[in-house]
C-alpha cells in the first residue's frame, strides 16, 4: 500500500506559531511503524501554518502581489516540511523537492519524501493531490484540525453537520462561498479538486490531532470524511 499523507499546518504549529514538537515526533513514529509493516508512506506534504499566514499578512500589508504572497506561503510550508526530515532522519529523503518532477524522482529512491508548496495559485492540498496522482498512491490521507468535511464551516457555524462521505461537487458547493487568496485556501482549492476528480484518488479527510488516527484509517476504520466518486 502506497500512502500520501498531508499534515495541515495548524497541526504542527499553534496559533502563536510555536512548533508542536511532540506531535511531530508522534507523526514520525506512526509513519515509521507503517513503513515497517510495508505500508509505505511515500510522501508527506506539510502545510504552511501560522508562519505562512504571518508572513503573507505582512507582505500583503506592504503591497505584495498575491503571487508573491503565495511564494512566501510555499517557502513556509517547505520550512515546516524540513523539520520532519529531522524527525525521520535516515528514512527521509534529505532535501525538499520544489517541483512535482523532483517529488517523483525523490519518491523513486524509496525514501520518505517531505514536501511543502510547489507553485502559486494553490494550497498544499493541491500538492498532495498532484503527488498522489503522480506517484500512483493507493490512498491520500488529509490530516487536518477538524473532524472531516462539514456542510458549513464548523468553526463559524454551530449548525454545520459532518459528512461521512462527500462528492467533489458537494465540496465545490461548500467552498464556493469562500474566496481564494494566498494563505486562505480553505478545505480544498480548485486545483486539488480537479486532480482528485480526474484521478479518483481514494481520499480521507480526518482529524489529525491524534497521529494514531492514521493507523486507524490504514486498518480500514471509518473516520472523518471519505471523498466518493
> Which residues here bind ligand UTP, judged by CB under 6 A?
8-10, 47-49, 52, 69-70, 73-74, 77, 117-120, 122-127, 182-183, 185
| DSSP-derived secondary structure letter, 19 | B
CB nearer to ligand UTP: give 26 or 33.
26
Q: How far is the CB of 227 from ligand UTP (least distance, A)?
A: 15
Q: 44: exposed, middle or buried (C-beta count within 10 Å: 0-12, 13-18, 19+)?
A: buried
Cβ neighbours for 54, distance < 8 A, ≥ 6 positions apart: 17
Q: How many Cα neighbours within 13 Å face the side chain of 223?
A: 24
Q: How far is the CB of 48 from ligand UTP (least distance, A)?
A: 3
CB nearer to ligand UTP: give 52 or 106.
52
CB nearer to ligand UTP: give 34 or 77.
77
How far apart are alpha carbons 133 and 107 in whole angstroms?
13
CB nearer to ligand UTP: give 93 or 185.
185
Q: How far is the CB of 60 from ligand UTP (least distance, A)?
A: 11
CB nearer to ligand UTP: give 69 or 163.
69
Q: Are 55 and 76 in contact (CB under 8 A)?
A: yes
Q: How far is the CB of 38 from ligand UTP (least distance, A)?
A: 28
Q: How far is the CB of 5 from ligand UTP (least distance, A)?
A: 12
* 102-109, Cβ contacts within 8 angstroms, sequence gap of 24 or more: 103/43, 103/131, 103/134, 103/135, 104/134, 104/135, 107/42, 107/43, 107/131, 107/135
How far apart are alpha carbons 223 and 226 in whole angstroms?
8
The gap between the terminal CA atoms of the chain, to the nearest Å, is: 20
Q: How far is the CB of 228 from ligand UTP (least distance, A)?
A: 21
CB nearer to ligand UTP: give 39 or 53.
53
Q: 102: exposed, middle or buried (C-beta count within 10 Å: 0-12, 13-18, 19+)?
A: middle
Amino acid at each position: 500500500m502506497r500512502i500520501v499523507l498531508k499534515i495541515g499546518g495548524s497541526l504542527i504549529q499553534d496559533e502563536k506559531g510555536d512548533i508542536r514538537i511532540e506531535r511531530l515526533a508522534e507523526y514520525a513514529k506512526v509513519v515509521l511503524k507503517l513503513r515497517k509493516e510495508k505500508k509505505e508512506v511515500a510522501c508527506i506534504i506539510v502545510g504552511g501554518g501560522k508562519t505562512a499566514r504571518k508572513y503573507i499578512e505582512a507582505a500583503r500589508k506592504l503591497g505584495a502581489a498575491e503571487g508573491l504572497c503565495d511564494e512566501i506561503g510555499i517557502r513556509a510550508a517547505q520550512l515546516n516540511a524540513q523539520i520532519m526530515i529531522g524527525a525521520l532522519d535516515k528514512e527521509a529523503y534529505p532535501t525538499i523537492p520544489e517541483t512535482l518532477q523532483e517529488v517523483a524522482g525523490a519518491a523513486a529512491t524509496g525514501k520518505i519524501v517531505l514536501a511543502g508548496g510547489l507553485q502559486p495559485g494553490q494550497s498544499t492540498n493541491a500538492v498532495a493531490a498532484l503527488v498522489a496522482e503522480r506517484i500512483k498512491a493507493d490512498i491520500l490521507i488529509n490530516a487536518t484540525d477538524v473532524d472531516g468535511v462539514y456542510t458549513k464551516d464548523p468553526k463559524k457555524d454551530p449548525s454545520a453537520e459532518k459528512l461521512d462521505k462527500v462528492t467533489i461537487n458537494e465540496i465545490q458547493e461548500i467552498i464556493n462561498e469562500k474566496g481564494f487568496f494566498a494563505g486562505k485556501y480553505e478545505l480544498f482549492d480548485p486545483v486539488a479538486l480537479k486532480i482528485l476528480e480526474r484521478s479518483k484518488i481514494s481520499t480521507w479527510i480526518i482529524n489529525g490531532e491524534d497521529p494514531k488516527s492514521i493507523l486507524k484509517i490504514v486498518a480500514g476504520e471509518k473516520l472523518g470524511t471519505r471523498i466518493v466518486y
